[in-house]
Structure 1
Amino acid sequence: MRVTVRVKPGSKSPRVGGRYGDALVIAVRERAVDGKATRAAVAALADALGCTRRDVRLVAGETSRTKIMDVPESAAAALAGLFARDEAN
């Protein structure tokens, strides 16, 4: 299943949850240098969904804040819960 995410690099408090338009928000501490923020976002999403990092695959947006990722179909319920989280968390 594909999911659009919006990465916020350099955040004080890392989190996964909330919406930015139709995208899931992933805030990471790593800066957007040499792909560090992207790798951290993949890891954070995998951890939040309870799957392995190799189960989450970047499809598009390697150098953009808006990315498209493939996640396992079995993570649909967890993903819905992340989208439902309040933006203030």
Structure 2
Amino acid sequence: MVRLSAGRIDIRVRLTPKSSADRIEGVAAASDGSAHLAARVRAVPEKGAANAALERLVADWLGVPGRTVSVTGGATSRIKTVSVAGDATLLSKRVEERLVGG
């Protein structure tokens, strides 16, 4: 679900647009058994609105500046790769803490 690279982490996310609230729901499993972060946003999937909402949501969730978060894969798919620039080890620990602590 989280892959560490030099200067960033990549998070596999399943996004559900047109939800009643913007929220991270936690870890879920895909039909192939692979793990991903489940997220919901109120934005509609048109003209990048849902992707932009996801970037803001992940930034707020991790407590990082919005400019460090970007959808780098799956722009038109529900399964996306979200990259967060910064210290990969620190960011990975922060993801783990947020998932354990809520």
Instruction: Bin the TM-score by the shorter chain.
Output: 0.7 to 0.9
- The answer to whether the 8 A contact 1:17-1:24 is kept is yes
Runs in 1 of length 4+ with deviation above 3 angstroms? 81-86
The reply to whether residue 45 of structure 1 matches residue 53 of structure 2 is no
In 2: Cα distance, 1:10 partner to 1:81 partner: 27
**What percentage of residue pairs aligned between the two structures are identical?**
28
Q: 1:36 to 1:12 in 2, by over 3 A?
A: same
**TM-score, length-scaled by structure 1:** 0.84
Paired with 1:40 and 1:12, the residues of 2 have a C-alpha distance of 13
Structure 1 stretch displaced more, 48-57 or 69-78: 69-78
Structure 1 unmatched ranges of 5 or more: none
Does residue 1:81 correspond to 2:89, yes or no?
A: no
| RMSD after superposition | 1.7
Number of the residue aligned with 2:5: none
User: Alignment partner for residue 14 of structure 2, among 1, 6, 12?
Assistant: 6
Structure with the greater alpha carbon radius of gyration: 2
Distance 1:60 1:80 in 2: 22
What is the alpha-carbon distance in structure 2 between the residues aligned to residue 65 and residue 27 of structure 1? 11
Q: How does 1:55-74 map to 2 (within 5 A)?
A: 55-71=68-84, 72=86, 73=88, 74=90
Aligned pair count reads 86
Query: Partner amino acid for 2:18?
Result: G
